[in-house]
Amino acid sequence: MSLKYAVSDLTIQRIIEQETSFVPALEMLPGLTPEVLAENRAWMRQAKALDDQDVLMLCFQSYVVNTPHHTILIDSCIGNDKPRPNRPKWNMKTDDTYMRALNAAGVSVDDIDFVMCTHLHVDHVGWNTRLENGRWVPTFPKARYLFAKQEYDHWFAENAKTEIPPFADSVLPVVEASRHELISNDHQIGDHVRIVPTPGHTPGHVAIAMGRGKDDAVFSGDLMHSPLQTLYPELSIKFDVDPAKAATTRRSFLERYCDTDTLCCTAHFPSPSVGKIKRKGNAFVCTAV
């Protein structure tokens, strides 16, 4: 299993927090039929994308990217000490898996220049903060945390109606510490980092493209959760706020990057999680590299 990739002048490392069964495939993907699942069961199980009970297997991970100028962490996973009663595997977790993985990659919390969240769901913001003396403080003390403004505004409004724990404990403390920046959909960091708007899963979801003058790598966030969605881009998950838009965005993204040299770094595909998009008939596959 590869955890490190080099492309042009980028170094990309996977920081894995969990690889685990998640939600039954037929529940997670409401448009999936038992017949289509049966047709794909064998390869999905071989790829460790589906367990023996037809539950989707997902990876929960961050990426650390070194450009010539910055060290960037993309999506901060699940986190510790966070109350998540509807997810027992995440609820009040106290293990050191994530920090050990970060250290094994040769990265300390002080090394991170930017934290970029593709969106603000629970499993993408968790390590934004850590508990210190009963208070949530930024985990990466020297980093600027970049939140897409459209995404932030959506969750800020939702949190004002009813508290959303991941926003309250993993986003607002960063804002209160003045470590954040709200960015537009055309935001760039130097000549290496660009935002790719990919709405549907959430209103302000973005992918992140990196490379000097071309997209050497793209980080797709929750545009796709399972490799089945490359073969069937019309399949949206039950957590998408706009399933139709998510499907349209997904196909457009796959068309944009298919048969190119761009590394597609997915958030949740089973290991190795990173591949190149190839056309397969009227659909696509993500081929491991």
Q: Enumerate the domain spans of the chain.
A: 4-217
pTM, entire model: 0.97
Residue 243: per-residue pLDDT: 99
DSSP 148-203: EHHHHHHHHHHHHHS--HHHHHHTHHHHHTT-EEEE-TT-EETTTEEEEE-TTSST
User: What is the residue type of 265?
Assistant: C
Residue of 236, 256, 228 whose CA lies nearest to 47: 228
pLDDT of residue 217: 99
CATH number of 4-217: 3.60.15.10
Which two structure tokens, joined as six digits, stand for 256?
């944009």
Residue 97 half-sphere exposure, CB side, CA atoms within 13 Å? 17
How many C-beta atoms lie closer than 10 Å to residue 188's C-beta? 12
Going 73 to 185 to 164 to 55, the CA torsion angle's sign is negative
pLDDT on residue 2: 78
Comparing CA positions, the residue from 278, 160, 177, 172 lying closest to residue 227 is 278
pLDDT mean values, one per 10 residues, the chain (289 residues): 92 99 99 99 98 99 98 99 97 98 98 99 99 98 98 98 98 99 96 97 99 97 99 98 99 98 99 98 96
